[in-house]
Each structure stands twice: as structure tokens, then as C-alpha cells.
């Protein structure tokens, strides 16, 4: 159970670097300049989104035999590794809060932008692999916060210093390694 939490946290924290939700974090921080409601919104949206993704992963695990699951997890991790090499761009905009407030705008925007994102797909795969729903959801949410909270709080200080290209390459390599390890049966599937 601890391994599933730690792996889930690391996978999402690294995969999130340069991701469109990280770009959304930067946009929200620049637009609203209210870190606490933005970070709270990220946490709530991620918990909800990744809980649904983990439930899907549990369903997948129940449908597949151990050998098929091992290959599905391994190939999915390799595919996510390739996907991690592609830079994300956030093409939406957050112009006005309206009556919803910063927290609600962040929740809605993050939940929607995370749909179909590589970290959501990784959550499905991790839940199928580890069969530890709570640990995976808490781990992926922690990973999302590890990657995005500093952006919200300190974006103006360090965004130009982070070599996003190399972070993306590292994330890709990590997913590929996990995929190969799963295919050869060195990690639990």
C-alpha cells in the first residue's frame, strides 16, 4: 500500500511538469493572485477526477486476467512515456471569476482540463496495477499538488529557470522504465 502511494505520487509529480494543468496553474496564479483558494481548488478537483479514474482502473483490473493486465499496464506506461515527450499547451482562458469565486473557477477548470490528460490516464493504470484505490488517489493528488502548488505560489520567481524539456524527458524515461518492468513482471500488475 505504501509503495502504491509513493509510486503514484512520483509518477504524477514528474509527469505534471510542463503539463497543461501546470500551465493552467500558472495562468490562474497570474490572473487571480490568490494562492490558497487556487491550491484548494486544485486539490478538490484532482481528488474528484482521480477518484473517478481510479474506479475505472479498478474496473479494468476486474475485467482482465493477470497476464493480460501485466501487458496492458506495461504497454500503457510505455504509451504514456511517449506522450510525456509531447509538450502541452493550454489553449483555454480564464478571464473572469464572475460570481463563482477563485476556488470554484479553479475546481471547474482543473477538473475539465484533467479529463483525458496523461496524469488521469496514469491514475487509471496505477489503480489497475496496484489494486489500492485510496493510496493511488491520494498519491496522484499529492503528486499533482507537489507539481502545481509551487507554481501557484512562486511562479514569478522560478518559471524561467526550470528546464521543462529535460523534465519531460525524465518523466518519459520513468514511464518507459515502469512499463518495461511491468511487462517483464518486476512490478506488481
Distance, CA of 12 to CA of 10 (rounded, Å)? 6
CA angle (25 as vertex; 24, 27 as ends), nearest 5: 60
Residue 105, CA atoms < 13 Å, CB-side half-sphere: 21
Count H helices, E strands: the chain?
8, 0
pTM exceeds 0.85, yes or no = no
What are the domain boundaries of the chain? 2-183
- Tens digit of each residue's pLDDT, the chain (189 residues): 788 999 999 989 988 887 778 877 877 887 787 899 999 999 999 999 999 999 988 888 788 777 776 777 677 667 766 766 666 554 555 555 455 688 998 998 888 888 877 888 889 889 988 889 999 999 999 999 999 999 899 866 655 565 656 666 766 777 677 778 777 876 554
Q: Which of 64, 43, 35, 34 has its CA nearest to residue 127?
A: 64
Amino acid at each position: 500500500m505504501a509503495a502504491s502511494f509513493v509510486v503514484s505520487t512520483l509518477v504524477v509529480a514528474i509527469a505534471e511538469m510542463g503539463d497543461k494543468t501546470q500551465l493552467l496553474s500558472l495562468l490562474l496564479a497570474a490572473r487571480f493572485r490568490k494562492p490558497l483558494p487556487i491550491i484548494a481548488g486544485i486539490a478538490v478537483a484532482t481528488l474528484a477526477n482521480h477518484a473517478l479514474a481510479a474506479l475505472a482502473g479498478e474496473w479494468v483490473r476486474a475485467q482482465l486476467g493477470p497476464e493480460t493486465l501485466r501487458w496492458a499496464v506495461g504497454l500503457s506506461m510505455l504509451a504514456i512515456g511517449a506522450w510525456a515527450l509531447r509538450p502541452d499547451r493550454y489553449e483555454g482562458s480564464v478571464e473572469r471569476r464572475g460570481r463563482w469565486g477563485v476556488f470554484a473557477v479553479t475546481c471547474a477548470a482543473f477538473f475539465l482540463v484533467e479529463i483525458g490528460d496523461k496524469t488521469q490516464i496514469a491514475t487509471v493504470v496505477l489503480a489497475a496495477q496496484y489494486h489500492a484505490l485510496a493510496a493511488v488517489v491520494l498519491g496522484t493528488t499529492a503528486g499533482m499538488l507537489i507539481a502545481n502548488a509551487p507554481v501557484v505560489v512562486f511562479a514569478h520567481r522560478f518559471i524561467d529557470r526550470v528546464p521543462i524539456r529535460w523534465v519531460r524527458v525524465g518523466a518519459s524515461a520513468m514511464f518507459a522504465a515502469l512499463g518495461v518492468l511491468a511487462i517483464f513482471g518486476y512490478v506488481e500488475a
